[in-house]
Amino acid sequence: MFEKRFTYPFCYTPDDEIIRASERLIAHIVTSTELHGIFAEGKMMGVLMVRDAEGNESFLYGFSGLAGGKSIVDGFVPPIFDLTEPDGYFKREEAAISALNSRIRHLEETDPAAAAALKAERKTRSTALQEWLFKQYVVLNALGERKSILEIFAERGLVPPGGTGDCAAPKLLQYAYLHGLKPLAMGEFWYGASPEKEVRHQGCFYPSCTGKCGPLLAFMLQGLDVEPNPLEQDSPAGEQNYSILYEDDSIIVADKPSGMLAVPGRTLKVSLQERLQRRSPGTDIRACHRLDMDTSGIIVFAKGTDNLAILQQQFEKHEVDKSYIAKLIPGPHLDAKGRISLPLLLDFDDRPRQMVDFEDGKQAVTDWELLEELPDGSALVRFTPLTGRTHQLRVHAAHPLGLGRPIAGDRLYGGGSGRLCLHAATLTFTHPRTGERMSFTSEIPWN
């Protein structure tokens, strides 16, 4: 009998039972002309393992949004609220608002004042319709409590983003609660073609989105024994799991382990900067650049604000040379080397995930070189970033317009579980006091 704590949906390794259930679902969709037809365009799917009052365990399946324009598909849980009913208030009001658009276009040339009035009416009616909609989405939690999505977000001083409540996870939990089923474990994975902006690979699991599902799932999971947030768990055993590569009166060059924050963050984890500060309580120690928490490797810290300013200026002027070694999961064939240039933008509904956006993104450029194809189909690659965008290497590795092969262990971008196999392997910079050019190398810490 399954007796683990329930899945923490925003950072998790899916249970084996969930993985096998997802594989069965994918096999079923692939062999069904109808299902493959409505899901092939690309859809986030969900699996929820549940137990009934008699102790029988089973699986529920769900999908996010609509599938082929349908909200209800046999074999999948229904929506929390079906806004596709053709004679429902939502569809009637939506059609009335859409009708205003053609009137506005006609009046913009002949009567600008009347067009402006209709635009104001359209905005008012759209806002009112969205508010009405979120009042219809009334959800449950394991304590038997009920709240509308509007209430849940209002308690945090927030307005729900469009589409809130239509993701797979809240649909699955709602169905379980309504039918007296106890949720045991959950996972969300992608099926079908990858979207243009976000990084999605078929069969890969992804954490729940933070913008739409963050407040919503926080309410719906109340009453369940949920796994702790791994991002907030610190390991005392890891306190000494870093090494000093070089230190003098001006700088510290350290080798940071995966899972340790480089600088103080919002979690309870103790950062490497704080650990170094404890060693020298009378010295102001600051990181000159950043490494993601899950990225290991070389990072330089300055002692004092003057040294910090000099080193940061080197980074800003691209006078620092650095390279990373990454292990990529099996996937498309790779050439010997190349350059990736894709503009990145924060996904505001799903922080800290980044996406490719050719209209509003900031250009990110990475040179890469294939080092070795491994027997298991994975590959070792050297990355040389020419810009320094957040998650640049992770997105460039995973996105179909990049290498199309996520970094192993990258939960955010489809690389599976385990440690993130991304390592800052080399760093070359000029010493802020002596003017000496200094180079450091660190060996990759995984087998």
pLDDT by residue for the chain (447 residues), tens digit each?
778 899 999 989 999 999 999 999 999 999 999 999 999 999 999 999 999 999 999 999 999 999 988 899 999 999 999 877 766 777 777 777 777 777 788 777 788 788 788 788 788 888 777 788 888 899 999 999 999 999 999 999 998 988 899 999 999 999 999 999 999 999 999 999 988 888 899 999 999 998 899 999 999 999 999 999 877 766 544 445 899 999 999 999 999 999 899 998 776 688 999 999 998 888 899 999 989 999 999 999 999 999 999 999 999 999 999 999 999 999 999 999 999 999 999 998 888 899 999 999 999 999 999 999 999 999 999 999 999 899 999 999 999 999 999 999 999 999 988 899 999 999 999 999 999 999 999 999 987
- The residue ranges of every structural domain in the chain are 16-81+137-220, 231-441
DSSP 128: H
Rounded to an integer, what distance in angstroms lies between the CA atom of residue 134 and that of residue 256?
45
Distance of CA 172 to the CA centre of its chain: 20
Rounded to an integer, what distance in angstroms lies between the CA atom of residue 294 and that of residue 264?
14
CATH 3.30.2350.10 for domain 231-441, yes or no, is yes
Of 2, 3, 4, the closest CA to residue 12 belongs to 4
Q: Are 48 and 172 in contact (CB under 8 A)?
A: yes
What is the pTM assigned to this prediction?
0.84
| Helix, strand, coil percent values for the chain (each to nearest 5) | 30, 25, 45
Of 174, 172, 197, 202, the closest CA to residue 185 belongs to 172
Q: Which residues are catalytic?
A: 292
Would you call 336 helix, strand, or coil by DSSP? coil
Residue type, 151: E
> What's the alpha-carbon Rg for the chain, to the nearest Å?
25
Rounded to an integer, what distance in angstroms lies between the CA atom of residue 403 and that of residue 383?
11
Of 354, 406, 8, 47, the closest CA to residue 208 belongs to 8
The strand pairing partners of 440, in sequence order, are 427
**Between β-strands 337-341 and 321-328, what pairing exists: parallel, antiparallel or unpaired?**
unpaired
Rounded to an integer, what distance in angstroms lies between the CA atom of residue 346 and that of residue 353?
6
Q: Are 113 and 104 in contact (CB under 8 A)?
A: no
Which H helix or E strand runs over 90? Answer: helix 89-110
DSSP 407: B
Q: What integer pLDDT is reported at residue 234 of this predicted model?
A: 60
Of 122, 213, 199, 125, the closest CA to residue 163 belongs to 213
Of 253, 258, 257, the closest CA to residue 289 belongs to 253
